[in-house]
Amino acid sequence: MNTLSDDLEVAAAFHGETCPGQVLGVRLARAGLAQIGISDPVADRKKLIVFVEIDRCAADAIMAVTGCRVGKRNLKVVDYGVMAATFLNLESGRAVRVVAREESRALAAGYAPGVEGKYEQQRRAYTIMPEKELFSFEEVEVSVPPEDMPGRPLSRVRCESCGDYVQDKREVNAYGTVLCLACARGGYYKRKS
Ligand SMILES: [Zn+2]
Ligand SMILES: [Zn+2]
């Protein structure tokens, strides 16, 4: 396993700064990997899928430490707005959800005596605080459907409304009409016509 300071350096380079979220994300990723028995995420990349529940600083740190990427399909952003991530070992089936404890914010000051400001206190404290104070852990079950697994696309169909091609079974079959999700449910964008 990389040292904590190696991982912090990699994460800072990837994210652009060493903010408290980077430190917390790095610690969270290291804890999660350890929980599922993966010490070298590069060598074991085919065994690993990570589900990140937030799209903030810590998500970048988790990507940097695990090497998992959206484009490799081994990083899933499931945006619940919760500072948590689940680490799945595909070989053993073991999955552990790691959640940042709310209490850790208040405890940070005690781990950074004489340091002014919450930002700097948290940045330093999160480096040294025991894992048990930073996170709670729960064993969970995660099943990844074939169409979400890494590898070649399983299907490719055309939306009968807009004509876009849809891969990996993301389409909707509405009473016999094949639609993309945007046409079926309304998209995040509106067409200007
Ligand atoms: Zn940041
Ligand atoms: Zn469509």
Under DSSP, the state recorded for 43 is T
What's the pLDDT score for residue 44? 95
Residues 79 and 172 in one domain: no
The pLDDT tens digits for 136-182 are 999 999 999 999 999 999 999 999 999 999 999 999 999 999 999 99
Tell me whether residue 44 is in a domain.
Answer: yes
Residues 31 and 116 in one domain: yes
CA 102 to the chain's CA centroid? 19
Same domain, 127 and 158: no
**What angle separates helix 57-66 from helix 20-35, to the nearest 10 degrees?**
40
pLDDT at 193: 78
Would residue 191 count as lying in a domain?
Answer: no
| Chain mean pLDDT for the chain | 96
Cβ contact 34:66 at 8 Å:
no
Whether residues 114 and 84 fall in one domain: yes
N-term to C-term CA, the chain: 54
- Ligand 1 centroid to Cα of residue 146, in Å, is 33
Task: Please give the average per-residue pLDDT across 19-41, as a whole number.
Answer: 97
My answer on whether 106 and 43 are in the same domain is yes
Average pLDDT over residues 48-63: 98
Ligand number, closest to the Cα atom of 59: 1
Is the predicted pLDDT of residue 92 greater than 90, yes or no?
Answer: yes
Instruction: Please report which ligand is nearest the Cα atom of 122.
Output: 1
Domain count for the chain, please give it: 2
Domain for residue 45, yes or no? yes
Does 170 map to a domain? yes
Residues 119 and 125: their CA atoms lie apart, in Å, by 10
Q: How far is the CA of 12 from the centre of ligand 1 (A)?
A: 9
Q: Which residues pair with 84 in a beta bridge?
A: 99
Whole-number Å distance, alpha carbon 178 to ligand 2 midpoint, is 8
Q: Do 163 and 120 share a domain, yes or no?
A: no
Ligand 2 mean position, distance from CA 145 (Å): 23
Distance from the alpha carbon of residue 71 to the mean position of ligand 2, in angstroms? 22
Q: Is the pLDDT of residue 133 over 90?
A: yes
What is the spatial distance between Cα 159 and Cα 169, in angstroms, rounded to a whole number? Answer: 12
pLDDT at 1: 81
- Label residue 139 exposed, middle or buried (CB < 10 Å: 0-12, 13-18, 19+): exposed
Task: Print the domain residue range for 76.
Answer: 4-146
Q: In the chain, pLDDT over 90 holds for what percent of residues?
A: 96
101 in any annotated domain: yes
Handedness of CA 148, 151, 153, 155 (dihedral sign): negative
121 and 32 in one domain?
A: yes
Q: What is the pLDDT of residue 191?
A: 84
